[in-house]
Structure 1
Amino acid sequence: MIELQGVYKDYAGAAPVRALHPVDLSIGRGEVFGVIGHSGAGKSTLLRTLNLLERPSGGRLLIEGRDVTSADGDDLRALRRRIGMIFQHFNLLSSKTVAQNVAFPLKLAGTPRADLERRVHELLGRVGLQAHADKYPAQLSGGQKQRVGIARALANRPDVLLCDEATSALDPETTASVLQLLGELNRELGLTIVLITHEMEVIRRVCDRVAVLDAGWLVESGTVADVFLHPQHATTRRFVLEAEHVDERELRADLARASGRVVRLTFRGEATYAPLLGRVARATGVDYNILAGRIDRIKDTPYGQLTIALSGGDIAQAVRAFAEAGVRVEDVT
């Protein structure tokens, strides 16, 4: 649905800065696509090129095969009506009520009053805020403010929803509820969602695919399962370790003390819950020592990863047995 072909962005000045190096990226209709990076990585710049709040310095932006890179006037207004956006700090109008905030883009679009009121009522019901319609932003919690922002972004029935660090100002429990709402909107409306974040945990919970940015470069991309479970770039590995609350130095120290062959086992789906370790150990005579491990979910799919040290018995046979059971085996060095 969305395709970036060699898109890059330079900021002019005494010393011009390249905020985003050429990016080739495609985002499919109906998927939740995450962009992760540290501060200054270029993720906000990338997101804002999708609705042309930032004009690319070069390359092409295609929406459903149509080049919209130079869209202006009526074409630009039509493009932005199709692309809703929610923000880290909500950007609500403090002098207007919740209902008036949600109605604002409908008024700008010239929606008749009866249709406008019906649409606002529907949207507030969808985000669970009908009882707060006459309140002002200052009377709301952070999570409620973000729900108002989501309702407002959906007012003109967009095809795409852009989320600019939409959960970074929220506590963990509120973050979970907002991510759950975004997942429901994706499933129920077929909405394409593009979100940027600096937290791999957010990516893991809600996204289908992810792109990793580092200093303006796209350094890794793929399905969340592949990128999260088998990161290839150092930046991605750091994000994964942070999400798993693992201290890299401590992990390396533990691995250095381990004896035998150290491997990482990755389980997906129902294999996550199979009693495989004990079965393989009994069949091959190997001993194992668990050095690190986690069982969790990537979106709706369970996964498990164990780092173990194998010793004694027939280690090669044990590794084959794991692989034959559909478990990915990687040597850890």
Structure 2
Amino acid sequence: MIRFEGIHKSYPVHGREVVALHPLDLTIQAGEVFGIVGHSGAGKSTLLRLINGLETPSGGTLTVDGQALGTLDGDGLRRLRRRVGMIFQHFNLLSARTVLDNIAFPLRLAGVSKAQARARAQDLLVRVGLEAHRDKYPAQLSGGQKQRVGVARALATEPKILLCDEATSALDPQTTASVLQLLDGINRELGLTIVLITHEMDVVRRVCDRVAVLDAGHLVESGPVAEVFLHPQHPTTRRFVAESEAIDEGALQEDIAHVAGRLLRLTFTGEDTWQPLLGRVARETGIDYTILAGRIDRIKRLPYGQLTLAVTGAQSDEALRRFAQAGVHVEELSR
């Protein structure tokens, strides 16, 4: 659906060029939820705004839904943008218009009759669960309700692509969860391609299929969320994962200093997450273990468990072999 080939972007600032994005290649498949993670200034918003033509790349080729953006004139860009919906961090609702009219607004801009636009808006209100609030104004809504209006408005023109610009960062955790559940349902039911930028790895874990990590304008890591989240390779990605799991790396290193044995990280995925494998291998091989850190959760709909252990005993090699034989990913850590 979206292909970046050698795309880069620079801005002139006080007579010099400031690089926002270094050359990168990236492909986003039709129908997937794709996350782009990075701290402030990493280039996330620039990358997102390239997709709907609000920014023009300094070089490279960007293809969206089969069209190379560099070949489109003004009319072509306007037609493309009708196929690309946008959800904003701070909602961007029109304060003087009702909820229904906010949702109908992009349709009216596109020349749809008032009656048809309001009928479409009413259907979307039902989809996002706000039919009882149709005649309210934005000031009368909670943050989560405002964002649901933003989602409905973004869907009004029946786009193929939905761009989410930090869509949950202004919301509390419970409201964030409900908005992510809404986006997940829209992706499954409508088959929309969703591109979501965020600085929270936990948002990516809950809803995305694949992820790209940006650091100072560089694409430093990308791949399936389960692979990137459970086995991060780049230091920036490892920091994001540690933040999302509330791991205090300094405290963990202190704990490690007090225990003997080999340090292992075991990763279980799918149904293996619920199996009593650790206890069984310990009994059969006679190893002892200390759990230093651990978590059982889900990556989208995939259950996983990850444990950091200190293992002692003469049969530790045999224990590692049995873990690997059972399909557990085993990583030996250095002290």
Counterpart code for 2:298? R
C-alpha root-mean-square deviation of aligned residues, in Å?
Answer: 0.9
State the Cα deviation string for residues 61-92 of structure 1 (Å, max 9, x = none).
11233312342321001100000001000011
Query: What pairs up with 1:1-333 in 2 under 5 angstroms?
Result: 1-14=1-14, 15-333=16-334
Aligned identity (percent) is 68
Q: Please report the TM-score for the alignment, with normalisation by the length of structure 2.
A: 0.98
2:10–2:20: 8 Å Cα contact kept in structure 1?
yes
Shift of 1:111: 1.0
Q: What are structure 1's unaligned runs of at least 5 residues? A: none
Which whole-Å CA distance do the structure 2 matches of 1:136 and 1:112 have between them?
22
C-alpha displacement of 1:13: 2.1
Q: For the residues of structure 1 that align with 2:24 and 2:95, how far apart are their CA atoms?
A: 37
Following TM superposition, by how much is the alpha carbon of 1:287 offset from its aligned partner in structure 2, in angstroms? 0.7
CA contact (8 A) 2:2 2:63 kept: yes
The 1-side partners of 2:50 and 2:71 are apart by 11
Once the two structures are superposed, residues 255-301 of structure 1 have per-residue CA deviations (whole angstroms, 9 ceiling, x without a partner) of: 22221111100000010010001110111111111111000000001
TM-score by length of 1: 0.98
Say whether the 8 Å CA contact 1:287–1:313 is kept in structure 2: no
Distance 1:13 1:184 in 2: 42
Q: How far apart, in 1, do the equivalents of 2:201 and 2:118 lie?
A: 39
Mapped to 1, the partners of 2:161 and 2:62 lie a distance apart of 14
Partner SS state of residue 70, structure 2: coil
**Counterparts of 1:23 and 1:108, CA distance in 2:** 35
The count of corresponding residues between Structure 1 and Structure 2 is: 333
Give 1:156 shift: 0.4
Spell out, residue by residue over 1:217-247, the C-alpha distance to the aligned partner (whole angstroms, 9 max, x if none).
0000000000000000000000000001011
Give the deviation of 1:313 after TM superposition: 3.1
| Unaligned ranges ≥5, structure 2 | none
Q: Which amino acid aligns with 2:262?
A: R
- Regions of 4+ moved over 3 Å: none
Q: Write the letter of the residue equivalent to 1:101.
A: N
Structure 1 residue matching 2:273: 3-state secondary structure: helix
